Amino acid sequence: MASAARVDLDGNPIKAMTICMIGAGGFIGSHLCEKLMAETPHKVLAVDVYNDKIKHLLEPASLPWAGRIQFHRINIKNDSRLEGLIKMADLTINLAAICTPADYNTRPLDTIYSNFIDALPVVKYCSENNKRLIHFSTCEVYGKTIGSFLPKDSPMRQDPAYFILKEDASPCIFGSIEKQRWSYACAKQLIERLVYAEGAENGLEFTIVRPFNWIGPRMDFIPGIDGPSEGVPRVLACFSNNLLRGEPLKLVDGGQSQRTFVYIKDAIEAVLLMIENPARANGHIFNVGNPNNEVTVRQLAEMMTEVYSKVSGEPALEVPTIDVSSKEFYGEGYDDSDKRIPDMTIINTQLGWNPKTSLWDLLESTLTYQHRTYAEAIKQAISKPIASS
């Protein structure tokens, strides 16, 4: 039976479109490309410097979607081909960014250029050519909660008004300038304000996405295996690396910060709704996260240790975690968000989206992937005698 014609949330038929996806070779981009190829008729112009995470979508030529995805190896910092690709597409999605915290205080200039300066031409080309833009910002633009400035034992800290993060109400609260960790969030805030101004003054049709810690397979890299040994990826990959190597998980400043984690596959559903429901998505900023999956970093480490033990069959370490100072782990200028709980009102109202996957379940599928993908390579790496100096 022919597959029923796909309709949007208002019952209108969905027409095939061409999407220019910048940063398509990354963690989120690779999952978004998979979804678009497997479930929609849309065409993707995949723009990135790397394509190892989407190679399985580009080859072999016999793939059912062959011809609907093209890879363009382009660095958007300086490439005249970018405007032509944006003009060929109906919609541009910009995911390109330096977005690993270890870089924010150690490579602040690269971080600011990547997250603000390099995005300027993308916004300009979309606005000048009347093309729709979905721009990826971050939940980090909220910075710290208002409650984090209350006395430690104040009961008001339990009042949601002091910690729920709402797109059209919450302020952006960062640390002082020498806390260069905030170079990223501040650059993201300013590009949000520029996109919003292009919408207000020149009619740019835009949607801004604020991801709240999306995690899953293919996030970042495992140091020394498919990334630099001295590289410091985001927490999922850091903890996975420690578990794969049988090392204790390092808890920065005791792992007291809290996060809400959402499964990448749930989050991609939200992005597809934004893509295919422009009338409901244009002009909006969306929190995309899972308020039900809140843990401290310490609790995350404990849960990942338990899940990994189950997945790998290997017993957990006697001492599974150790505390490290942020100065030791990240260097000077680090600072942190204390708590990130997304208000879900706007995304519920506009797109009817809610996340489905519990933290335990998403960790089980993700650590199964990590173990299957890396355990052997790690064993080789550990067994190989260190090259004699």
Ligand X SMILES: O=c1ccn([C@@H]2O[C@H](COP(=O)(O)OP(=O)(O)O[C@H]3OC[C@@H](O)[C@H](O)[C@H]3O)[C@@H](O)[C@H]2O)c(=O)[nH]1
* Active site residues per annotation: 184
Q: List the one residue from 118, 266, 335, 336 that touches ligand NAD (CB under 6 A).
A: 118
217 binds, among ligand X, ligand NAD, none (CB under 5 to 8 A by kind): none
Choose among ligand X, ligand NAD, none what residue 101 binds, the Cβ cut-off being 5 to 8 Å by kind.
ligand X
Which of the ranges 23-31, 195-203, 299-307, 350-358 carries the binding residues for ligand NAD, by CB under 6 A?
23-31
Instruction: Pick out residues in 85-104 that bind ligand X (CB under 6 A).
Output: 99, 101
Residues 6 or more apart in contact with residue 120 via CB below 8 angstroms: 191, 194
The pairs formed by 64-69 with CB atoms below 8 angstroms and a separation of 24 or more are: 65/37, 65/38, 68/37, 68/41, 68/42, 68/43, 68/44, 69/33, 69/37, 69/43, 69/44
Stretch that binds ligand NAD, among 13-21, 48-56, 332-340, 362-370 (CB under 6 A): 48-56
Among the listed residues 16, 49, 109, 117, the single contact to ligand NAD using CB under 6 A: 49
Residue nearest to ligand NAD (CB): 26
Which of 21, 69, 91, 96 touches ligand NAD (CB under 6 A)?
A: 96
Q: Which of residues 360-379 bind ligand NAD (CB under 6 A)?
A: none
Indicate the residue among 85 and 270 with the shorter CB distance to ligand X: 270
Using the rule CB under 6 A, give the single segment among 48-56, 68-76, 245-253, 270-278 that binds ligand X: 245-253
Q: By CB under 6 A, tell whether 126 contacts ligand NAD.
A: no
250 binds, among ligand X, ligand NAD, none (CB under 5 to 8 A by kind): ligand X
Out of ligand X, ligand NAD, none, what residue 216 binds, judged by CB under 5 to 8 A for its kind, is: none
Rounded CA-CA distance 229/245 in Å is: 13
* Region of 72-80, 322-330, 362-370, 374-382 interacting with ligand NAD (CB under 6 A): 72-80
By the rule CB under 6 A, 211 interacts with ligand NAD: yes
For residue 75, state whether it binds ligand NAD (rule: CB under 6 A). yes
Task: Give the residue, chosen from 92, 105, 138, 305, that forms a contact with ligand NAD under the rule CB under 6 A.
Answer: 138
**Nearest to ligand X of 63, 303 (CB atom):** 303
Q: Residue 54: name its binding partner from ligand NAD, ligand X, none (Cβ under 5 to 8 Å by kind).
A: none
Count CA atoms within 13 Å of residue 69 on its CB side.
32
In whole angstroms, how close is the CB of 145 to ligand NAD at the nearest point?
17
Tell the smallest beta-carbon distance from residue 167 to ligand NAD (Å). Answer: 14
Q: Which class for 57: exposed (0-12), middle (13-18), buried (19 or more C-beta within 10 A)?
A: buried
Query: For binding to ligand X (CB under 6 A), which residues are involved?
Result: 99, 101, 138-140, 213, 234-235, 238, 250-252, 255, 257, 259, 297, 336
Task: Catalog residues that contact ligand NAD under the rule CB under 6 A.
Answer: 23, 25-29, 48-50, 75-77, 95-97, 99, 114, 118, 136, 138-139, 211, 213-214
